Amino acid sequence: MTKPAKQYLCVSLSYWAFTLTDGALRILVLLFFHGLGYSPIQIASLFLLYEFFGMLTNLCGGWLAARIGLTRTLQIGLVVQIASLVMLLKDPSALTVTYVMLAQALSGIAKDLSKMSAKSSIKHLVPDQEQTKLYQWIALLTGSKNAVKGAGFFLGGALLAGFGFQATILLMIVLLAIVLTVGFFVLETHNGKATDKPTLRDTLVKSDRVNRLSAARMFLFCARDVWFVVALPVFLQTQLGWSYVEVGVLMATWVIGYGAVQAIAPRITNVRNAVANGAMLSKWAGLLLTAPCLMAVGLHFGINPSVVVIAGLLLFGLLFAINSSLHSYLIVAYARHDSVSLDVGFYYMANAAGRLLGTILSGVVYQQFGLASCLIISALLIAASGIVAGRLPAQTD
Choice between 18 and 308, residue whose per-residue pLDDT is larger:
308
> Measured between alpha carbons, how far is 57 from 76 in angstroms, rounded to an integer?
12
In the predicted structure, residue 309 carries a pLDDT above the cut 80: yes
| Structural Rg of the chain based on CA atoms | 20
- Asked if the structure places residue 397 within a domain, the reply is no
Query: Please, which pLDDT band fits residue 154 given cuts at 50, 70 and 90?
Result: confident
Assess contact for 29 and 106: CB atoms under 8 A: no
Structural domains of the chain, count: 1
Tens digits of per-residue pLDDT, 216-261?
999 999 999 999 888 898 899 888 888 877 877 787 788 888 888 9
Cα 144 to its chain centre, rounded Å, is: 12
- Asked if the structure places residue 167 within a domain, the reply is yes
Report the share of the chain in percent with pLDDT over 70: 91
> Measured between alpha carbons, how far is 17 from 153 in angstroms, rounded to an integer?
13
> Measured between alpha carbons, how far is 122 from 344 in angstroms, rounded to an integer?
11
Q: Which long-range contacts (CB under 8 A, 24 or more apart) does 35-43 make?
A: 35/244, 38/97, 39/363, 39/367, 40/230, 40/231, 40/234, 40/362, 40/363, 40/366, 40/367, 41/363, 41/364, 41/367, 42/97, 42/363, 43/230, 43/234, 43/363
- Asked if the structure places residue 196 within a domain, the reply is no
Tens digits of per-residue pLDDT, 50-102?
878 878 887 787 778 777 888 888 889 899 999 999 998 887 777 777 888 88
Tens digits of per-residue pLDDT, 173-229?
998 998 888 878 777 766 656 566 666 566 665 678 889 999 999 999 999 999 988
> Measured between alpha carbons, how far is 385 from 391 in angstroms, rounded to an integer?
11
Q: At what angle do helices 231-238 and 371-389 cross, to 10 degrees?
A: 160
Assess contact for 359 and 47: CB atoms under 8 A: yes
Q: At what angle do helices 70-87 and 165-186 cross, to 10 degrees?
A: 160
Cβ neighbour number for residue 90 with a 10 Å cutoff = 13
Averaged confidence pLDDT in the chain: 83
Across 25-29, 127-131, 224-228, 393-397, least confident range: 393-397
Tens digits of per-residue pLDDT, 375-395?
999 999 999 999 999 888 765
- Asked if the structure places residue 177 within a domain, the reply is yes
- Asked if the structure places residue 190 within a domain, the reply is no
> Measured between alpha carbons, how far is 28 from 164 in angstroms, rounded to an integer?
10
The enclosing domain of 170 has a CATH number of 1.20.1250.20
> Measured between alpha carbons, how far is 223 from 221 in angstroms, rounded to an integer?
5
**pLDDT score for 397:** 47
Of 100, 65, 40, nearest in space to 229 by CA? 40
DSSP state of 125: T
> Measured between alpha carbons, how far is 281 from 213 in angstroms, rounded to an integer?
10
> Measured between alpha carbons, how far is 396 from 129 in angstroms, rounded to an integer?
10
Of 321, 318, 319, 331, nearest in space to 389 by CA? 331
- Asked if the structure places residue 227 within a domain, the reply is yes
DSSP state of 36: T
**pLDDT score for 190:** 64
Range of the domain at 235: 3-185+204-389
